[in-house]
Amino acid sequence: MSQTHKGIFTLSRRRFFKAGGTAAAALCANTAVSTTTEAARKPLDPREVQEAAATRRSPDARTVHSVCLACNARCGVRGVVRKGRLVNISGNPYHPYNMQFDPIAYDTPLEQSLAVTSPVCGKALDTPQHIYSPYRLRVPLKRSGPRGSGQFEPIAWPDLIREIAEGGTLFSHLGEDRHVPGIRELISDDPIDPQDPDLGPKRNGLVFLTGRLQSGRKEFIDRFVKKSVGSKNRIGHTDICGLGFRMGNFALSDGKAVELKADPKNADYILVFGANIYEALQPGINTYGAMVARRRADGELAFSIVDPRATRASVHARDWLAVKPGQDGALAMAMIRRMIETGRINRDYLGAPNPIAVKKRGYGALCNASHLVICDGRHPDDGAFLRMHHLNPNLDEAAGNDRVIFARDGKTPVASLSAAEAALDREAAVKDVAGKTLRVKTAYRLLKEAAFAHSLADYAAICGVDRSLIERVADEFASHGTRAAVTQYHGAGNYVNGTYAAYAIAALNALVGSVNMKGGYLTGGGGCGKPTGGLYDLKSFPGGVKARGVAISREKAVYEKSAEYRRKRAQGGSGYPSRRPWFAFTRGGLCVEALSGIDEQYPYAAKVLFTYLFNPVYSIPGGYRFASTLADPAKVPLHVSIDIAVNESNLYADYIVPDLSFAEGHYGWLTPHAPGLCFTGIRSPMVKPLTDATPDGRPICTETLLIDLATRLQLPGFGHAAIPDAGGGRHDLSRAEDFYLRAFANIADGAKITPAGEGEIATVEAEYPISAHRGILPDEQWRRVCRMLARGGVFKPYDALFEGDIFIKGLPEVHLYNESLARSRNTLTGRRFSGTPAYVVPADAGGNDFSELENVYPFTVVTYKTRLHTQSRSLWSVHAMEIQDENRVEMNSADCRQLGLVTGDRVRLASVSNPAGITGRVQATKLVRPGCVAVSFHFGHSGFGAGPLTVKNGADVFLGGAAVIGKDGRLVVEPGFAKGLNPNDVALLDERLGRTPMVDLVGGIPDFSSTRVRIEKMISKVA
């Protein structure tokens, strides 16, 4: 371990040998008792070597309940703090994620809870090492050389605020005479493009891209970006985080939910698609993975794994289906076909035409399988559901919008709400109000046609899984009925055909009727209380601006309403193609397409870019393409990064503002992931901020930056009297706690939390840093908040969310046919998308599949996360790096033999988009499908201390002080951080779209599974 990462409690070499030498001498001499020999006989006290670790029961330590952010799982933590330093982490026994859905009672006294053990994963345990990394930034930086040069200098806080707000010739001292726009120039309702006012105002020139962002800071940042500045462009990173599986659920639920998973507490059988349940899932491995493992060991649960790589859970799985990368959709459609043609679907459930019929039959959610769809290309509503107004013009609006079914006789069209039964598999003609004949099909029939478009043998060949295994797994899944469900995650749909793959996977649950059923496919149950409303209105404020127009990512925007479309139509064309794809049907959070839009200045140019804890050059497949974008002042006139370090992306920033770690800030209210549960975990600081302070004593961080920018620009929603309360009063918003403590008060009030007793209040006020700001709240509100803080949130029991076997917080309806999707178009071709799950061949934006690459680039790259490394910045986790400091190129042993490779050989991976490639060491294994290479994420860095920087007064800039600054004034590089390889650096780029990263044309999903590489041996085996 390097000097900069040694622990703070160490025994000096001289002291160690003195103690050891005294003991040894005494043992050898075997003399009479003397002071020296008496001391030698006494065993060496371990505390002479290292100070004893503090625990939550240590009298000289304090314990703070919070919510972890080592990954996005949202588990509870108890931080142990000694002498102001976080020294230990354990789980929160009040929190269901730390106790496998079975936490201690909420009214358990706080003192008693401290004796209850509660686990966290290794990522959380590394938090004390991570947050004290010597490479953390303490003060704001301004670029002092060309973008990407790694040259920075400190900038005073008032100067930082003025320059970002006002702009100017900010880098003239570097010979850059260009005018840099400030935010003030964007505060205008003039159109950003006079030729297309529908794109919105100049305010949209502010683009704010976020990495890991959770509720709390999300609302705070949105307040600034969307309501004070009025920009559409606060865009998250949902796409690279796992948009694929979310898009499947988005389609199944018609946008009502994006996270559904199998119920680990009561399922009999779980089919796991692309989810690493023992290492990297949400909920976390100590929750979901532990529950699955325990119930499997007890004989209560069986599961199968679908993944090109045998995950750690595969050792317990009934089957490992080693699917070809990017072909999960073919496997799911094969299962659908098998279930349909063998009658292994829940016809009783699927034939229920309305919620009343569903409830009478004992199921959890309506399915639109029996509803009729207009399948007539001549009709203006082709692709829409047949509604009663198509048949009878004299109905009121509600009755006219009711969907139509065929009655049980399969001939009579009737309103779905009026029938108890419906025909399921039907195609026929009906007469509309004008007497014209319409062809209609049930949603189920359309799904059946899509499934039967290929034979089982064809599907098996496409997905690379033996037909008999597909049949056996499909039969077993169906045999468990409503206690069978899917858990899908990143690997199931994060690629160019991902929407339809994930939709097909999600549809499996509907076919057995397990949606909203105990043991089935469940959403999360939401939170307790309303953080932005109640006692205080944190959502709206006088003078707030409504953001309008089109996001630079084109997400949730309709191309056919654009001036570009109208112009092309006026010129005699069809209006297609658009210059880049638009994504009307998407969950959103399309950071990849936002950056591609910035690069191509489409549909307009960005003026000011903020990146918040976001490292796109490293984290996006093909993100290396955006290094040139960020380096170009014509495309990014001003770039402000908010981060804890200098990384691979903000190396190109003009300003870097240091932020807090979650242990010092990131106030938030965290609701559950799917499945099940209803709670709101509360994150508050465990230790004081490690960044410097502003001249008036506030910590430098995200909130302080936005408050001071808004105040200088005189934007609404910040500063004096910015927060209204329910009684007509107004309150200042001048520091982070003004917002977050009032949100906590709203939650406690809405959840009807009883006030804490005097003992708990005293504990919170003595041990929780947030208590320094208790004067923000009236005493009664503070007492309620104290009870919530002392338990780390508000938590409801699992069983309280069910009525019998029905999950009461679930979806109202599931869609085997999605009308919104079917009415949307591929804006590059003008063709409509399918409204049902279907097999879609992976292809680039021009429709070219990747088969032609196979001969030259025979291996497909898949990536994954390990149990200890989960983020691009986990290289600061000291213990994780001691256990695994380098990733490997994991290859099937047969492939290794064919290429003459053995474990330890160094190889080069080269792709058509990056012929120079990347290098790493081989690991031969039988746990990867032949023809694939698996590479874990998190390694191969050039930032975070892995690469050179020249920072003026660096000893005052970094948390490590002079220890990380060399005699030449440059940063002391940690070579270990650069070990390994980053698989994103060989990802395929789309030649049709300006060599930007490939995305799914439905939802904007980035591609993690289509990259093919050539592997070349570089050197002989290295020990």
Whole-number pLDDT of residue 867? 87
Q: Residue 18 pLDDT > 50, yes or no?
A: no
Please compute the mean of the pLDDT values over residues 287-316 and round it to a whole number: 97
Q: Kind of pairing, strands 269-273 and 302-306?
A: parallel
Asked if residue 552 lies in contact with residue 233, where contact means CB atoms within 8 angstroms, the answer is: yes
pLDDT-derived band at 869 (thresholds 50, 70, 90) equals confident
Report pLDDT digits (tens) over 707-722: 999 999 999 999 999 9
From CA 65, how far away is CA 57, in angstroms rounded? 14
Q: What is the pairing mode between strands 1012-1017 and 366-367?
A: unpaired
pLDDT at residue 922 greater than cutoff 80: yes
Using CA atoms of 932, 937, 940, 943 in order, give the dihedral in degrees to the nearest 10: 150
pLDDT(211) > 70: yes
Section 748-759 average pLDDT:
97
Per-residue tokens: 652: 């190109």
Q: What is the 3-state secondary structure (H, E, C) of 678-737?
A: CEEEEECCCCCCCCCECCCCCECCHHHHHHHHHHHHCCCCCEEEEEEECCCCEEEECCHH
pLDDT value at position 302?
Answer: 98
For residue 52, the model assigns a pLDDT of: 72
Distance CA 713, CA 694 (A): 18
Check: CB of residue 109 under 8 Å from CB of residue 119: no
442 φ/ψ angles, rounded to the nearest 5 degrees: -70, 155
| Interval 170-210: pLDDT, tens | 999 999 999 999 999 999 999 999 999 999 999 999 999 99
* Percent of the chain at pLDDT exceeding 90: 90
What average pLDDT does the segment 115-127 reach?
93
* Cβ–Cβ < 8 Å for 529, 745: no
In the DSSP assignment, the letter for residue 223 is: I
In the chain, what are the domain boundaries?
A: 848-940+979-1017
CATH fold of the domain at 848-940+979-1017: Barwin-like endoglucanases (2.40.40)
Annotate 298-315 with DSSP letters as a single string: TTS-EEEEE-SB--GGGG
User: Residue 30's pLDDT is what?
Assistant: 40
Render pLDDT for 596-634 as a digit per residue (tens, 0 to 9): 999 999 999 999 999 999 999 999 999 999 999 999 999
d(CA 506, CA 248): 6
pTM of the model: 0.94
Cβ(781)–Cβ(748) below 8 Å: yes
Return d(Cα 75, Cα 92) in angstroms, integer. 8
pLDDT tens digits along 782-835: 999 999 999 999 999 999 999 999 999 999 999 999 999 999 999 999 999 999
Retrieve residue 568's tokens.
């092309």
